[in-house]
Amino acid sequence: MPLNNERPTSTSSGEDQSSDVESSSERCDSMTSTSDLDCSRESFTSDCSSKPSTPSSSPPKTLTLDEVMDAAKDLFNLSLSHEIIVNRSFHLEPNRLPQNSLWRAVRDNFHKAFWDILEAELNDDPPEFGHAIRLLEDIRETLLSFLNPGANRMRTQIMEVLDMDLIRQQADNEALDIQGLASYIITTMGKVCAPVRDEEIKKLRESTDNIVTLLREIFRVLDLMKADMVNFNIVNLRPVLLRHSVEVERATFQRLLDKTPSALDHTTSWIKGALEELCPPAVSSEQTNGKGQRVMPGPLHILSAAFLRILTWDFYKSPLPETLMTDEIRLREIQAQLQQCQAVNEVLLIVYSTIGGPIQGLPSLSDRLKRMTSVLLDGMHRPDFNLEESLEGVSAQICCELNKSLTEMNYPALTPALQTTLTGQICSITQKDNPIRTLVEDRVQQYFMMLLCDPKPKDKLEQVPAGLTAIKPELALIGSKFISLVNYNKTVYGPFYADIIRKLMFNSGSPAAPTAPAATPPQDTTQDAN
């Protein structure tokens, strides 16, 4: 924690590092084409086990409790470093429990009991200083933890003023001046705190509360200062992590894999599922190269198909691949946004195909319907969300808006029969085999497969397939977020993915006709230009 003349300009938000994060994202995007996964294509059929860059694994073994705890620590460090790298606004917040929660009630009762005991001890005649001395000792250690390594003078002063042996002697002789020590502690806090806490320090200096309440407030402010120090260290650590992010995350995951050999089981199943979708057991003449050899997709195409499956992943039934767990929250958000966009697009397609001419060419009406539908479908990804009921509300609002617009343009309002038909069609998108829903979902899959397979996906973000024009801005934004996550993930875990794909394709134990990977990943050519 810097002194006042060395204070950081930001202690919590980390916004001053946004340019570093953005440059790191661009660096990871550019590295995708030359990542370990790409480099492995030249020797994809060879045994990579002797290569230093190839992830190693250990034979199954029984783990001890210490090994499990070490693995948990590695996983925590991996998640923390990844969050610092990819989330430029990541910072530590003091623990705030919900107002009416059981945990908060329990914590508040314990704290109240402790401070009540302290007050009773200090009010005894003669006063008892046991709890107070332990508090002063904790405060001393906290203040020392805030100092820079070179702050020897202040360190010496704190040790002299808060000399616990001397304080115990003064307590035994009933000569302990707790108020004076509290005043010194507040002054020292003002010297080592971040600027954002100056107002809190000022309130402590001006406090007229009794000593117990003052000590309680000192501890509250010290907790805030601890969070400030952690956030200050995060800001300073972020540029270092950005420069070595790939190596740090890969090495941490390798240590985790060494301790828990099953740490890639879900990842292997995920990639295997994508490979099976691309290469079903039945081999047709179209899947062979004319020489009896089965043509297999390239490793990049297999991985792209695997990442495409994440967009429709059932988080409630299947665990995520281990290599994606650090991004679970972001992937859930992307999936939720995508589901909502698809539903909005489906509703708009039904409206325009049902009503037709009278409402064509009215961008203001389209925008109103889009905003209205999006608001009413907000949160549709939640398990407790009643989609059918919400779609009925959407239908009613849309009918009102359409009647208003039709009347303004001197067209007849929608008939009750047409409104019933429109409502039924909109509500039918809850059915998985609904043709409009199937069409939109297929087009969205085409769009993301195009981005995943293209070496320069940023140039293709605006090229949405026909029928998705209404959600083009939202798709481009979601696509940009998703591709950035995928590119960074592939850069970090490329060697692990390459090893898994190689084993799945060439070590399956099937002595049937030899297989050959395609030279380049097939490009999606089904999308239509707008």
Say what the pLDDT of residue 494 is: 92
Task: Name the more confident of 520 and 244.
Answer: 244
State pLDDT tens for residues 60-77. Answer: 455 554 555 555 555 666
497 has a pLDDT exceeding 80 = yes
17 has a pLDDT exceeding 50 = no
Cis omega before residue 383 (within 30°)?
A: no
User: How many whole angstroms separate alpha carbon 249 and alpha carbon 77?
Assistant: 9
Say what the pLDDT of residue 394 is: 92
Task: Name the more confident of 295 and 276.
Answer: 276
State pLDDT tens for residues 460-469. Answer: 899 999 999 9
State pLDDT tens for residues 208-219. Answer: 778 888 989 999
User: How many whole angstroms separate alpha carbon 83 and alpha carbon 90?
Assistant: 7
**DSSP at 288:** B
Long-range CB pairs of 435-443, under 8 A, 24+ apart, other chains included: 436/346, 436/349, 436/350, 437/342, 437/346, 439/349, 439/467, 440/342, 440/345, 440/346, 440/349, 440/467, 440/468, 441/342, 443/467, 443/468, 443/527
State pLDDT tens for residues 349-365. Answer: 999 888 877 787 778 88
Using pLDDT thresholds of 50, 70 and 90, give the confidence band for residue 345.
very high
State pLDDT tens for residues 376-412. Answer: 999 888 888 999 899 999 999 999 999 888 888 888 8
Helix (H, G, I), strand (E, B) or coil at 467: coil
Say what the pLDDT of residue 281 is: 60
Using pLDDT thresholds of 50, 70 and 90, give the confidence band for residue 11.
very low
- Go through the chain and tell me how many residues it has: 530
User: How many whole angstroms separate alpha carbon 488 and alpha carbon 494?
Assistant: 10
436 has a pLDDT exceeding 90 = yes
444 has a pLDDT exceeding 90 = yes
State pLDDT tens for residues 363-372. Answer: 888 899 999 9
Range in 66-80, 259-273, 335-349 the model is least confident about = 66-80
Structure-token match 């250690």, residue found: 141
Taking residues 340-353, report their average pLDDT. Answer: 93
Percent of the chain with pLDDT over 70: 75
User: How many whole angstroms separate alpha carbon 196 and alpha carbon 232?
Assistant: 12
Say what the pLDDT of residue 12 is: 38
Nearest Cα neighbor of 453 from 300, 226, 263 is 300
b/e code 80-99 from CB counts within 10 Å (16+ = b): ebbebbbebebbeeeeeeee
